A and B are shown apart, each in its own frame.
Chain A
Amino acid sequence: MDTRQLIVDTATKIFSDHVDKTLLDAAERGKFPDALWQLVVANGFHQLGSQDSGTDEADLFAFLTVCGQFAVPLPLAETLLANRWLGADDTLASIGLAADTRVNEVLWGRSAARVLGVRSGSDEVLVSVVPIVVTESTNMGGEPTDEVELGDPVIINVSPDPYAQLALTRLNLMAGCLQAQLDLGIQFATERSQFGRTISKFQAIQHSLAIVAAEVAAAKRAADAAVDAFHDPRFVLEVAAAKSRVGEAVGIVAEQVHQVHGAMGFTHEHRLHHFSRRTWAWRDAWGNEFEWQEKLGRHLANLGADEVWDFIATRN
């Protein structure tokens, strides 16, 4: 078995044992899942893709897909990227969108030892080891997201494009999280009975889940392609394409899977909303579909009509 599969299998095992509804609810109320974080560190997951870790960025993003599948309530995408950019340590890091030294939507900013600020279109990243939390809040995914002032920031340069790397984390998280919604939909449909049979026997339900399966498959293929382009000159454009396509899948999947679940899926008690709300939050994070589509579209318009096919069919 190759390393990546081993990482994926181990992470799947650990998260399926430890990330349950109780933990997710507590995290959404702002309680940091410390025991889970310790497990992550003990298994070395926080250093995946860092120098000297013996793993690469493809391992990192494969791991994030698993995180998305379990809605793991930790800023692992941020910590992994920070460790990759700065050199690994065992502390929690987070990253937000920077406007000067004020950084917004910092996931678990309140618990982070290091906070980084990233801007669209810039390779400069601000790093602070003395972050000051200005306001605490929560996004629609139930993730603690804080506004942070970066104390004594230093500037580092990151390549490839750091903003696109953050978008890439979100679309891998989404790919995993969409998979979880499909799984929940299939599970519910094969368990719930009405009119004397399981609702999975109704063609309308079958078609809804078929639509979901197609979207999930597309989202996963798109996310993988963006990861594969990490060292490619087209990286930003591949992320643009993938963030657009995966973001489109989110609306369709959540809508269909909630419909399949009936009223039960609308309750707080059911798990589904942890996944659907997160994908709604993530499709807007680090550039929504429109932002990335426009970027890709400008590039193609500039190439010209007779070159668009070549762009699409170029091997990478």
Chain B
Amino acid sequence: MAITLRCLKELGDVMLQFDRISLQEETEVLRAEVRRFLDCHRAHFEHPNSDFSTGHDPAFSRKLGEQGWIGMTWPKAYGGSESSFFERYVITEEVLAAGAPVSAHWIADRQSGPLLLRFGTDAQKDFYLPQITRGEAYFSIGMSEPDTGSDLASVRTTADKDGDNYRINGTKIWTTDAHRNDYIICLVRTAPQTENRHAGLSQIIVDLRNDGVDVRPIANMAGGEDFNEVVFDDVVVPADRIVGDPGNGWEQVTSELSYERSGPERFLSAFRVFVELVRACGPAPAPHQAAAIGRIAASIMTMRRMSISVAGMLENQKDASVEAALVKELGNNFEKLLPEIARMALPSGVEQSLYRRTYEETMLLSPSFTLRGGTREILRGVIARGLGLR
């Protein structure tokens, strides 16, 4: 039976659905397989971190590709295995829970590939998708700009048609791994802005290594250099790098977002803190420690089931944008709460070296959890629209 939020009839029957789905036997066979694989490749993550954006390891990504675990829902012709979204779900949650280094291929697998599959030309699909499924081509997201954050339609980077080419000018910012990845899909203006702010936007693929873009790493507060400023100064790319129809960029960008928002990476970022908390508390925890452990587990179990429900919607090609926003809202807030619960469960000053290191690393990353992929405030707006309030 569907779980339905039955809102008022006058508002036109708002339904938010989180179907009760339990994973099938096949996915569990796959789970055992991926666990064996991870066990054999622990050397790639001696210091595990469940945040999908930490750990850029091309060698590890290629190994996952060899297993057929990247782009696995895609057609066989492109190196996929036409697996279900549930199978993909199992792979993603297992690699995250283990804290494996997945950031190299993550964006390509999660959204760039599906975008190309849906809107790309045959030539684009033939060229990029097999490289992605092999774990060899890594993509960045070129949406944000210095003056464009939440208000994505205000992008100013332009791509002007120039014979058989496009000439790109402008600056993208906060671009995760642009200094390590191969390609960036940029949201650009291909026609001047009119009354309709969403018209005249397009998505275009730029080669980060060969097209002459200027990539400048930006240090973050956690001490890492993961995101970048990417400057386009008359960068010329062939016209066939446009994804989909010129002018269709807005629709495409918004369709990427359900893929981006509902996955297990939206509630597992702090998971290793939980694991180390359990270790530090030992087999006979004090009551408040046991309660902290139980509280965290209870939340994760619930969000995981909601996320699987959304995987079911994607599998059935249903529009999951509101449900995905709901999972991200709950998940990101929880990822921030987890270290807060953990720290109160362990006496300070006690040397819990692995716990402390994991906790500190996650705490320092935590401000980003409710920003990346759409801020909490923007997501609440999406949910409110789903409720018929705006």
The total of interchain contacts (Cβ-Cβ below 8 angstroms) comes to: 195
| Bitwise interface map of B from 278 to 302 toward A, beta carbon under 8 Å scored 1, else 0 | 1101111101011111110111111
Contact status of A294 and B275, CB under 8 A, knowing A213-B16, A221-B306, A228-B20: no
Query: Once the chains are docked, how many angstroms separate the CA of A300 from the CA of B390?
Result: 43
Query: Once the chains are docked, how many angstroms separate the CA of A296 from the CA of B291?
Result: 8
Counting CB contacts under 8 A, is A293 at the interface?
yes
Q: Across the interface, which residues of A come within 8 angstroms of B330, CB to CB?
A: 214, 217-218
Query: Once the chains are docked, how many angstroms separate the CA of A186 from the CA of B6?
Result: 11
Contact status of A309 and B275, CB under 8 A, knowing A217-B326, A228-B20, A242-B298: yes
The 6 A-B pairs at the shortest CB distance, nearest first, are namely A293-B294, A297-B290, A297-B294, A297-B293, A296-B294, A206-B384
User: Which of chain B's residues 40-83 have a Cβ closer than 8 Å to chain A?
Assistant: none
Q: Tell me whether B301 and A241 are in contact (CB under 8 A).
A: yes
Counting CB contacts under 8 A, is B343 at the interface?
no
Counting CB contacts under 8 A, is B123 at the interface?
no
Partner of A245, one of B283, B289, B299, B326: B299
Q: Across the interface, which residues of B come within 8 angstroms of A183, CB to CB?
A: 6-8
Counting CB contacts under 8 A, is B381 at the interface?
yes
Query: Nearest-CB distance from A249 to chain B (Å)?
Result: 10
Chain B at the A interface: mostly helix, strand, loop or mixed?
helix
Contact status of A305 and B279, CB under 8 A, knowing A217-B18, A293-B291: yes
Chain A residues near B (Cβ < 8 Å): 2, 4-5, 8, 62, 179, 182-183, 186-187, 189-190, 200-201, 203, 205-207, 209-211, 213-214, 216-218, 220-222, 224-225, 228, 240-242, 244-245, 248, 289-290, 292-298, 300-302, 304-306, 308-309, 311-313, 315-316
Counting CB contacts under 8 A, is B305 at the interface?
yes
Query: Once the chains are docked, how many angstroms separate the CA of A313 from the CA of B77?
Result: 32
Q: Across the interface, which residues of B come within 8 angstroms of A240, CB to CB?
A: 294, 298
User: Which of chain B's residues 9-43 have a Cβ closer than 8 Å to chain A?
Assistant: 10-11, 16, 18, 20, 22-23, 27-28, 31
Q: Tell me whether B3 and A297 are in contact (CB under 8 A).
A: no
Counting CB contacts under 8 A, is B128 at the interface?
no
Counting CB contacts under 8 A, is B309 at the interface?
yes
Q: Tell me whether B294 and A300 are in contact (CB under 8 A).
A: yes
- Smallest CB-CB separation from B304: which chain A residue? A312
Q: Across the interface, which residues of A come within 8 angstroms of B7, CB to CB?
A: 182-183, 186
Q: Across the interface, which residues of A come within 8 angstroms of B274, CB to CB?
A: 308
Q: Tell me whether B302 and A293 are in contact (CB under 8 A).
A: no
Q: Tell me whether A213 and B326 are in contact (CB under 8 A).
A: yes
Query: Once the chains are docked, how many angstroms separate the CA of A201 from the CA of B389?
Result: 7
26 A-B pairs (CB sep. < 8 Å): A2-B1, A5-B1, A205-B389, A206-B381, A206-B384, A213-B326, A214-B329, A216-B5, A217-B3, A220-B18, A221-B3, A228-B20, A240-B294, A241-B294, A241-B297, A242-B298, A245-B298, A248-B299, A296-B294, A297-B293, A297-B294, A297-B297, A300-B278, A300-B293, A304-B278, A309-B98
Q: Tell me whether A207 and B297 are in contact (CB under 8 A).
A: no
Query: Once the chains are docked, how many angstroms separate the CA of A292 from the CA of B290?
Result: 10
Counting CB contacts under 8 A, is B240 at the interface?
no
Contact size class for B? 35 or more
- Smallest CB-CB separation from A12: which chain B residue? B6
Contact status of A217 and B31, CB under 8 A, knowing A297-B291, A312-B300: no
Query: Once the chains are docked, how many angstroms separate the CA of A213 from the CA of B389?
Result: 12
Partner of A207, one of B16, B282, B380: B380
Contact status of A305 and B278, CB under 8 A, knowing A217-B326, A240-B298: yes
| Bitwise interface map of B from 256 to 286 toward A, beta carbon under 8 Å scored 1, else 0 | 0000000000000001001110110111110
Q: Tell me whether A206 and B389 are in contact (CB under 8 A).
A: yes
Counting CB contacts under 8 A, is B388 at the interface?
yes
Q: Across the interface, which residues of B come within 8 angstroms of A298, CB to CB?
A: 285, 290, 294
Contact status of A4 and B1, CB under 8 A, knowing A214-B326, A313-B97: yes
Question: Which of A8, A189, A245: most chain B CB closer than 10 A?
Answer: A245
Query: Once the chains are docked, how many angstroms separate the CA of A216 from the CA of B326?
Result: 10
Q: Tell me whether A62 and B16 are in contact (CB under 8 A).
A: no
Q: Across the interface, which residues of B come within 8 angstroms of A316, CB to CB?
A: 22
Q: Across the interface, which residues of A come within 8 angstroms of B303, CB to CB?
A: 218
Question: Which of A217, A295, A312: most chain B CB closer than 10 A?
Answer: A217
Counting CB contacts under 8 A, is B377 at the interface?
yes
Q: Across the interface, which residues of A come within 8 angstroms of B377, CB to CB?
A: 207
Query: Nearest-CB distance from A311 to chain B (Å)?
Result: 7
Query: Once the chains are docked, how many angstroms separate the CA of A191 from the CA of B191?
Result: 42
Q: Across the interface, which residues of B come within 8 angstroms of A187, CB to CB?
A: 8
Contact status of A221 and B305, CB under 8 A, knowing A5-B1, A190-B11, A213-B383: yes
Q: Tell me whether A295 and B294 are in contact (CB under 8 A).
A: yes
Query: Nearest-CB distance from A307 to chain B (Å)?
Result: 9
Counting CB contacts under 8 A, is B361 at the interface?
no
